Structure 1
Amino acid sequence: MSARPAPLLLRGGTDPDAVAGLRAALVPLLALETSRPASCATAPGPGAARPLLVPISPHEDEARVCADLARRLDPAGPASRADVLLRTSGSTTGTGSLIAMSATALTASARATHARLAGPGTWILALPAHHVAGLQVLVRSIVAGTEPIVVNATGGFTTGALTDGLARALASSGGPVYLSLVPTQLLRALADPDCSRALARASAVLLGGAAASAALLARARGAGIPVVTTYGMSETGGGCVYDGAPLDGVTATIEDPDATGAGRIALAGPVLALGYAHRELPIESGAKEPSSRFTARDGRPLLLTSDRGRLDGHGRLSVLGRLDDVIISGGIKVDPREVEAALLRLPGVGEACVVGIPDARWGSAVAAAVMPAPTGGGALDAEALRSAARAALPGARAPKRVVVVPELPRRGPGKPDRRAVAALLAGPSRPGASRPGD
């Protein structure tokens, strides 16, 4: 058997040429027929070992990525059996993971998605292809035997480019048209009437990457947009629970549920990654140990996620947030999502991120960064927001500090960077911030 070649780094993003190169490299790994065969440069020859594809950001330094892989990658672990190496953003822990993914799992995810929706169709790529949600759009297009419509956001996402991409897909497709968005993109699309009308003509708009508020979902569905909320992660090859219902072959269970039925979400099924491909290294200063882990139960692989959730009587999953996002303030557990939901009900608020910050009196204090809605109609007053939230929330759950920001710090395609938000809120007061209160 030939020795495995060095990892093959391929640019992601949304540049059409880079996307085409990444998609061409995926084709031979998925071993599926397509309308455009892979180039000789990416297809392994007879007897050759398959490369380990590593999608990277358009702006990353390849030498630094290679050095990081040489330091962290365990070639004898799951990476030895992987086809694609996914690198997570580490939005909460500050330490991204290396996830060994097989072509079999990626294909199983794509087929399960088509089975849940209206069958294979044309996919629009509006998310960076080096993140799992964007990469899965390419995999689904290969499985469907269609060419993806690429929305080039290299210079920044615009609703005009998304509207154009939708028009091209709708004009060229004789079947379903799908796309994946994150909540920030949908929020901006709803502020653009042309884009909103175009989204309403899609067969399904998968929404994931970050929690979507009830108000955002109500607005989108009220505009006729066929939103499907998704839950999943890089370890599951993207979304594996749609509108609370696991995809075919996927099971969701709750570990150690409390009196309300809430506990750690565990996932199993053919979409799971092979495991983590990095060596155990000392955690960087200030970072938390990642809490998701792979294990086995009854002879089946199982992913113990870092998320809290609850199943209803019909087996439908509600995701309640990360296990380590819960804030202990004065001995009381505060769920950030409850506070975020209260803030998002206030006029003019587009997005909110709630974290705990050090407090001499309470141990941790609830604090919030708030971003105005695209069509808010005026500036937000941080103190007024804090007062309104305190009127709606009991005691410890009310935010002690609110900061209005033009844009939330982010990692990946759409997740709020909670570490950066916490650092921002723990800093000195500045214009647009409410004063601390009891």
Structure 2
Amino acid sequence: MSSVLQTLPIPAGVAAASALPRLARALDGNGPALLPVPADDALETARLTESLRPGEPVDESVALVVATSGSTGVPKGALLSAAALRASGAATHARIGGRGGWLLALPAHHIAGMQVLARSVLAGTEPVIMDVTRGFDPAALPAAVARMAGPRRYTSLVPTQLIKALEVPEACEALAELDAVLLGGAATPAPVRARAEAAGITVVRTYGMSETCGGCVYDGVPLDGARVRIEDGRVLLGGPMLASGYRGLPDHPAFAEPGWFRTDDAGTLADGVLTVTGRLDDAISTGGLTVVPQVVEAVLAGHPGVAECAVIGLPDPRLGQRVTAVVVPIAGGEPTLAQLRAHVATTLDVTAAPRELHLVDALPLRGPGKVDRRALVARFGGPAAR
């Protein structure tokens, strides 16, 4: 049987709480399927509605249709049942120490922010909501955390937000008061994690996506019920929090094997611990060799002059692609290409060392916190000094 998909407009700031009653009905299995959209962003709402077609039928088992962040620029809609969302929420609370209050500091139409609202509903608590319309302001964290009810308190951030918070002592102190800060959406540089832990912040690295109701692997270990396997270097995920497919794409190969989702991520599994090494579709072919950008980024992040970085492949007439680093330098420091090449070469093969460097004020993002590599390639894809 089917119902009709309806939009769930989510206002910015504290008004996002207005979505909670409809979300609660969906989680109970008593409401129509909902497509979360940003109420204050007409262009993004139009993009999502055009692709995911509210007003048309959807299977009655579906509670939410959550858009993927879309590395291709075209969003797909993960079909999430109420049972999958409840399983995800229960497994999360079981792993981090029980139900508690949540702080929403992410856009709620993406899966990470939506899960903060959903977990609040499942925990029977009222979320505290920060206004991130104009971006994340770490100076607002102390007041927001002070409004949270206990006894346990949590939030969910992306790495770029944590990096900003680490520069504000009062924000660090506020995050250190929380029982857990879930960190996902993108890889967390090891130096950033070390700084956070040194500041007393309980960081829990999460891995997952819209297709798995958000994070289903915490600190490399699958949540209760979640399953992970590696096939030809590719990460596959399964479990009760799995989506039932994509809206309008019943034969999509990512869901071809019943009970499993084929990610686009490369990884390894050792002693039950998953390590994600990068995205298969981001791999750079340079001089006949393959370079995984995330591996290079992890090394570059350890350079004292690098605050944030991204590695991309740009067209090269001789190599096919050249490894290019885009770096947000630390305040008052500008690392040179030679310095970064030497730094990478101490850990990785010299093939992985960047041949081109661009210094920027900030990295473009897509979704809640992933670096928009396509935007960087478009920006720097032309001739540049090397």
TM range, normalised to the smaller chain?
over 0.9
2:242 is paired with a residue whose SS is: coil
Whether the 8 Å contact between 2:8 and 2:19 is mirrored in structure 1 is: yes
Q: Does 2:240 align with 1:264?
A: no
Q: CA deviation at 1:389?
A: 3.9
Q: Does 2:134 align with 1:164?
A: no
Q: Does 2:294 align with 1:294?
A: no
- Relative to its length, the structure with more strand (as a share) is 2
Q: Does 2:270 align with 1:277?
A: no
Alignment of 1:120-269 (within 5 A): 120-169=99-148, 173-256=149-232, 263-269=233-239
Name the residue aligned to 1:47: none
> Counterpart amino acid of 2:241?
V
Count the aligned residue pairs.
383
Q: CA deviation at 1:97?
A: 1.0
Q: CA deviation at 1:369?
A: 0.9
Q: Does 2:25 align with 1:28?
A: yes
Q: CA deviation at 1:220?
A: 0.7
Whether the 8 Å contact between 1:108 and 1:270 is mirrored in structure 2 is: yes
Write out per-residue CA displacement over residues 221-248 of structure 1, whole angstroms, 9 at most, x where no aligned residue: 1111000000000000000000000000
Structural RMSD (CA): 2.3
> Counterpart amino acid of 1:53?
L
Q: Which has the larger radius of gyration?
A: 1
Instruction: Specify which of 304, 316, 324 is matched with residue 367 of structure 1.
Output: 324
Name the residue aligned to 1:4: 3
Instruction: Quote the Cα distance in structure 2 between the aligned partners of 1:93 and 1:176.
Output: 39
> Counterpart amino acid of 1:89?
S
Instruction: Quote the Cα distance in structure 1 between the aligned partners of 2:47 and 2:372.
Output: 22
Whether the 8 Å contact between 1:327 and 1:355 is mirrored in structure 2 is: yes
Q: Does 2:67 align with 1:87?
A: yes
Write out per-residue CA displacement over residues 283-318 of structure 1, whole angstroms, 9 at most, x where no aligned residue: xxxxxxxx970133xxx5111111111011x21100
Whether the 8 Å contact between 1:13 and 1:128 is mirrored in structure 2 is: no
Name the residue aligned to 2:285: 328
Alignment TM-score, normalising by the size of structure 1: 0.82
Name the residue aligned to 1:16: 14
Q: Does 2:311 align with 1:341?
A: no
The structure-2 alpha-carbon separation of the partners of 1:390 and 1:303, relative to structure 1 and needing over 3 Å to count, comes to closer
Instruction: Quote the Cα distance in structure 2 between the aligned partners of 1:304 and 1:212.
Output: 22
Instruction: Quote the Cα distance in structure 2 between the aligned partners of 1:53 and 1:125.
Output: 20
1:230 is paired with a residue whose SS is: strand
Instruction: Quote the Cα distance in structure 2 between the aligned partners of 1:222 and 1:329.
Output: 38
Name the residue aligned to 2:35: 54
> Counterpart amino acid of 2:108?
A
Instruction: Quote the Cα distance in structure 2 between the aligned partners of 1:195 and 1:121.
Output: 20
Whether the 8 Å contact between 2:155 and 2:181 is mirrored in structure 1 is: yes
What percentage of aligned pairs have identical amino acids?
46
2:41 is paired with a residue whose SS is: coil
Q: Does 2:96 align with 1:117?
A: yes
Instruction: Quote the Cα distance in structure 1 between the aligned partners of 2:166 and 2:335.
Output: 23
Instruction: Quote the Cα distance in structure 2 between the aligned partners of 1:385 and 1:9.
Output: 50
Mean Cα deviation higher: 320-329 or 385-394:
385-394
Q: CA deviation at 1:255?
A: 0.7
Instruction: Quote the Cα distance in structure 2 between the aligned partners of 1:370 and 1:181.
Output: 21
The structure-2 alpha-carbon separation of the partners of 1:248 and 1:64, relative to structure 1 and needing over 3 Å to count, comes to closer
Q: Does 2:364 align with 1:409?
A: yes
Whether the 8 Å contact between 2:278 and 2:295 is mirrored in structure 1 is: no
2:112 is paired with a residue whose SS is: helix
Alignment of 1:418-433 (within 5 A): 418-429=373-384
2:17 is paired with a residue whose SS is: helix
Whether the 8 Å contact between 2:52 and 2:76 is mirrored in structure 1 is: no
Whether the 8 Å contact between 1:350 and 1:370 is mirrored in structure 2 is: yes
Unaligned runs of 5+ in 1: 33-43, 45-49, 257-262, 282-290, 430-434
> Counterpart amino acid of 1:357?
L
Instruction: Quote the Cα distance in structure 2 between the aligned partners of 1:14 and 1:209.
Output: 20
Q: CA deviation at 1:13?
A: 5.8
Instruction: Quote the Cα distance in structure 2 between the aligned partners of 1:348 and 1:73.
Output: 51
Whether the 8 Å contact between 1:15 and 1:153 is mirrored in structure 2 is: yes
The structure-2 alpha-carbon separation of the partners of 1:383 and 1:174, relative to structure 1 and needing over 3 Å to count, comes to closer
Instruction: Quote the Cα distance in structure 1 between the aligned partners of 2:357 and 2:11.
Output: 33
Unaligned runs of 5+ in 2: none
Name the residue aligned to 2:261: 303
Write out per-residue CA displacement over residues 227-275 of structure 1, whole angstroms, 9 at most, x where no aligned residue: 000000000000000000000001111112xxxxxx1111110000110
Q: 4+ residue runs of structure 1 moved beyond 6 angstroms?
A: none
Whether the 8 Å contact between 2:105 and 2:155 is mirrored in structure 1 is: yes
Instruction: Quote the Cα distance in structure 2 between the aligned partners of 1:247 and 1:226.
Output: 18
Q: CA deviation at 1:74?
A: 8.0
> Counterpart amino acid of 2:52?
L
2:304 is paired with a residue whose SS is: coil
Whether the 8 Å contact between 1:13 and 1:154 is mirrored in structure 2 is: no
The structure-2 alpha-carbon separation of the partners of 1:211 and 1:65, relative to structure 1 and needing over 3 Å to count, comes to closer
Instruction: Quote the Cα distance in structure 2 between the aligned partners of 1:364 and 1:387.
Output: 16
The structure-2 alpha-carbon separation of the partners of 1:271 and 1:390, relative to structure 1 and needing over 3 Å to count, comes to closer
The structure-2 alpha-carbon separation of the partners of 1:13 and 1:325, relative to structure 1 and needing over 3 Å to count, comes to farther
